Chain A
């Protein structure tokens, strides 16, 4: 029981101090591994691989995995709820303040600076994903221009984009994900 509460406490701290996306929780997990020996760094790598290859936010997936590995289903629920509890508390407070101050011109001014910046951050993430998925950047470094393009991936990209854009009513993203998974299995991606 004491160990269980300790796990929840560690995850509560992670949720409170990890700022940014799911990858921001990794340093905290590393610390848990070193401090308590709940899992080895090798196991952490496996957990990260599974969390990246399953649906859902990576940080939440990792919490569920770590919790389950220690205490089964109660551990999975305990660790995950502890991870999101600080978010719920902090964000509800900020949201209530935001609703009240949103009408102020100065707050609108600050947000008018934030919105285009967020577009820039997202574009930066999208370009990183594109480079990894559709091109071989290491081939370019080796001077091998021929294999720079992942032709098969680019072809699938074009086909999926056409299937998504051409219909009059844009399909739900779920259909695209399912179609992409099927294409991946059929053509051995």
Chain B
């Protein structure tokens, strides 16, 4: 019961302080799910992000369900997901009901302008950590660089790139097996 509450509360915090979509949540996930509660490792979060790209639904929600399920099965998945959507339900309902011109209010715009820079700092730190940890030899660097270039400079849908990267991993696995088989 306690774990379910922790899942709900932690994902509530992550939803409450994430501005933007799935990737913007990464710094919060690193802090809460990885460092504080040890619910998942950095590698597992990367796996969930990859699977979240090729499965239906919003990435942030999928990641919450994955982590929740890993910790406490279906009940955990539901608790984490309800946690991540609760802040939206409350905040949007209030804004939609009361302040229809919310995004035009000057003070809101100034605050959001500052938050945007704050998100840049958090993402800069998050991606720095990820690259230092995840890109460690020539094959991983090649996949990393190719995925970045194709994602940034072409309009190939991300889920296609995920499938390509998975196929590359599979091919690398087969080649390694052959080498070991020959030796």
Contacts and interface: CB of A to CB of B under 8 A. Distances in A.
Chain B binds chain A: yes
A64 B50 contact: no
B5 interface: no
Interface string A164-189: 11000000111011011111110111
Contacts of B147: 116-121, 124
Contacts of A83: 57-58, 61
A56 B55 contact: no
B16 interface: yes
Given A113-B166, A120-B143, A64 B88 contact: yes
A179 B121 CA distance: 12
Contacts of B78: 88
Interface string A111-127: 11111111111111111
A17 to B, nearest CB: 6
Instruction: Tell me the interface secondary structure of chain B in the complex.
Output: helix
B91 to A, nearest CB: 5
Interface string A94-110: 11101100000110111
Contact of A87 (B65, B114, B116, B120): B65
A142 interface: no
B34 to A, nearest CB: 12
Contacts, number: 366
Given A110-B170, A133-B116, A160-B121, A185 B152 contact: no
Interface of B: 13, 15-23, 25-28, 31, 43, 46-47, 49-51, 53-62, 65-66, 69-70, 74, 77-78, 81, 84-85, 87-89, 91-93, 95-97, 100, 102-103, 107-108, 110-127, 130-131, 134-135, 140-141, 143-149, 151-152, 157-159, 161-162, 164-170, 172-174, 176
Interface of A: 15-25, 46, 49-61, 64-65, 68-69, 73, 76-77, 80-81, 83-84, 86-88, 90-92, 94-96, 98-99, 105-106, 108-130, 133-134, 153, 156-157, 160-161, 164-165, 172-174, 176-177, 179-185, 187-189
Given A55-B17, A118-B46, A180-B115, 8 more contacts: A54-B102, A58-B21, A114-B165, A116-B135, A117-B146, A119-B148, A180-B121, A184-B115
